[in-house]
């Protein structure tokens, strides 16, 4: 299904479709018309004897210099070349594709003053599967994600390095020629318009939010399995108790837990008056409160992302009534703050998951299971070191939760004296999402073993389906085996959405 880039906002689903699934894109006729209309404004200013920032002047701290006509093409080339100064590992393909799509979306609003052929070059690169090589370091998250965006602009000029559709590293000019794409010779203001946006940090926010939605539901699944496996109670998840504290995320998580634990033979086995346990540990009992907080944080982050998706970020901009005005909309503060907020919530979600896992392994707390769920404790170590792996990741996630957005390093001879560090916040959130995936997978992997060990007691239909799905690639309880491949299978089971699909096949769609 083709994604249409128009003057209005792209959806988050559009971004994921193009970035991850290579959906083709097209520029709407309305967008082409608006691009052409605003270009006329820029070309009129280019003939004006009065200097106009970004059109006939230098940039940043060099904005006081008036640039004559003969040097303006060189000015744009020089801007892009000098700003393509990234360093470090290559940024992931999906991030670069999201960044390019979002820059194109802003160009399509007609607020930047680029030519139609410049916007079409971005669409052509995306449709050809050509991905500019963008390096990890270089953006301060103010004046946009300058260096990452400049590497993309360099590619449409036929310069720099790219990965072709097969992932082969090639000179940009060679890859463009093979795809039948003519390099762009940038005109007045175009170089500036291509690098002055929050597109990198926004693209990573959209992708992270998409992944976290899946992980939140899967975390409810692994938590439900832990409640069952540790002979916990589902009574605390009752709707009337949750309604006493009406946070929407908490309500959604509790509803999921009730659905997942419905008809559990394990829970029914100790529900009667003979059960002497008064209440479960916090990591079990308070699951909806913690998981719900992450949901509500994510909801706020998605609201910010939706506003940013509807934004036309450039400096200067061509206003709807034809003025060209400088502004500060390129500052990444709104996006940077929620990226950091999500990293904090991710660390907390992973932390409670690890605590539930740890309870399975301690004979003082696991209610009758073998130490470390080992087949023959002492001879076998069971899941002892799987929890170490979890603990190492959770410790890393706590470090990644330290906010990037509170830092600021002045640049451009103090002209750009306060920056957002939003790109850095996004980079660490991506690492945190990967870590959370692994932590949840280890909990699910451990809880599945515990549920098997509770036989002949039977788990709920939903959790039983999750265990059955895992057992297609990971064996059940037994003597010690090489754990690393099994943990990776569990990670893929979680990340692919198969664990969620197995649960929903019995419990219905989860919140």
Average per-residue pLDDT in the chain? 95
What global pTM score does this model have? Answer: 0.95
Q: What is the pLDDT, as a whole number, of residue 65?
A: 78
Mean pLDDT of the region 187-193: 93
- Sorted by sequence, the CB contacts under 8 Å of residue 252 that are 6+ apart come out as 292, 295, 511
- Per DSSP bridges, beta strands 3-5 and 25-27 are parallel
Q: Is the pLDDT of residue 39 over 80?
A: yes
Q: Is the pLDDT of residue 409 over 90?
A: no
Look at the alpha carbons of 210, 216, 217, 219 in this order and tell me if their dihedral is positive or negative.
Answer: positive
Which residue is it, tokens 């360099």?
Answer: 154
Give Cα separations from 422 to 96, 190, 200, 413, 427 (angstroms).
16, 24, 9, 21, 9
Q: Is the pLDDT of residue 58 over 80?
A: no
CB contact at 8 A, 445 and 470: yes
CATH class of 205-507: mainly alpha
pLDDT tens for each residue of 225-249: 999 999 999 999 999 999 999 999 9
Domains of the chain by residue range = 3-197, 205-507
pLDDT tens for each residue of 315-349: 999 999 999 998 989 999 999 999 999 999 999 99
The pLDDT-based confidence of 306 (bands split at 50, 70, 90) is very high
**Which comes out higher in pLDDT, residue 376 or 72?**
376
Residues labelled as active-site residues: 53
Q: Is the pLDDT of residue 275 over 70?
A: no
SS3 string, 14-45, reads HHHHHHHHCCCEEECHHHHHHHHHHHHHHHHH
Strands (DSSP E) found in 253-336: 317-318, 324-325
Q: Which CATH architecture has domain 3-197?
A: Orthogonal Bundle (1.10)
CB contact at 8 A, 130 and 148: no
């Amino acid at each position: 299904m083709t994604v249409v880039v128009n003057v209005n906002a792209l959806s988050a689903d559009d971004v994921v479709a193009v970035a991850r699934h290579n959906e083709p894109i097209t520029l709407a006729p309305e967008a082409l018309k608006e691009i052409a209309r605003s270009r006329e404004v820029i070309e009129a200013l280019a003939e004006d004897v009065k200097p106009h920032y970004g059109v006939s002047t230098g940039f940043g701290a060099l904005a006081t210099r008036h640039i004559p006509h003969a040097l303006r093409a060189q000015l744009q080339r020089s801007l892009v070349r000098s700003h393509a100064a990234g360093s470090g590992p290559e940024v992931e393909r999906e991030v670069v594709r999201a960044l390019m799509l979002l820059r194109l979306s802003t160009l399509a609003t007609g607020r930047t003053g680029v030519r139609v052929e410049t916007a079409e070059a971005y669409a052509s690169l995306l449709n050809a599967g050509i991905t500019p090589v963008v390096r990890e370091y270089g953006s301060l998250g103010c004046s946009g994600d300058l260096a990452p965006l400049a590497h993309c602009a360099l590619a449409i000029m036929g310069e720099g390095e790219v990965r072709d559709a097969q992932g082969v590293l090639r000179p940009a000019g060679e890859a463009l020629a093979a795809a039948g794409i003519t390099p762009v010779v940038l005109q007045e203001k175009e170089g500036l318009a291509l690098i002055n946006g929050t597109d990198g940090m926004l693209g990573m926010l959209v992708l992270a939010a998409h992944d976290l939605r899946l992980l939140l539901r899967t975390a409810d699944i692994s938590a439900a399995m832990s409640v069952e496996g540790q002979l916990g109670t589902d009574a605390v998840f009752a709707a009337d108790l949750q309604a006493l504290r009406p946070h929407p995320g908490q309500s959604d998580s509790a509803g999921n837990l009730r659905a997942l634990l419905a008809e559990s033979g394990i829970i029914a086995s100790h529900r009667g008056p003979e059960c002497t346990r008064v209440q479960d540990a916090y990591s079990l009992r308070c699951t909806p409160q913690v998981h719900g907080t992450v949901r509500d944080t994510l909801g706020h982050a998605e609201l910010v992302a939706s506003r940013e998706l509807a934004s036309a970020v450039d400096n200067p901009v061509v206003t709807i009534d034809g003025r060209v005005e400088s502004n500060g909309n390129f500052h990444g503060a709104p996006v940077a703050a929620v990226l950091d907020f999500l990293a904090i919530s991710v660390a907390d979600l992973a932390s409670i998951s690890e605590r539930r896992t740890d309870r399975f392994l301690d004979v003082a707390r696991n209610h009758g299971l073998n130490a470390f769920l080992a087949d023959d404790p002492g001879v076998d170590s069971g899941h002892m070191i799987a929890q170490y792996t979890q603990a190492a990741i959770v410790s890393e996630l706590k470090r990644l939760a330290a906010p990037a957005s509170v830092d600021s390093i002045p640049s451009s001879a103090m002209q750009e004296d306060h920056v957002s560090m939003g790109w850095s916040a996004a980079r660490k959130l991506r690492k945190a999402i990967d870590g959370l995936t692994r932590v949840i997978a280890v909990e699910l992997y451990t809880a599945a073993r515990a549920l098997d060990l509770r036989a002949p007691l039977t788990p709920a239909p939903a959790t039983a389906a999750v265990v059955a799905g895992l057992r297609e690639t990971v064996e059940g309880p037994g003597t010690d085996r090489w754990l690393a491949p099994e943990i990776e299978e569990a990670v893929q089971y979680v990340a692919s959405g198969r664990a969620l699909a197995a649960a929903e096949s019995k419990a219905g769609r989860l919140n």
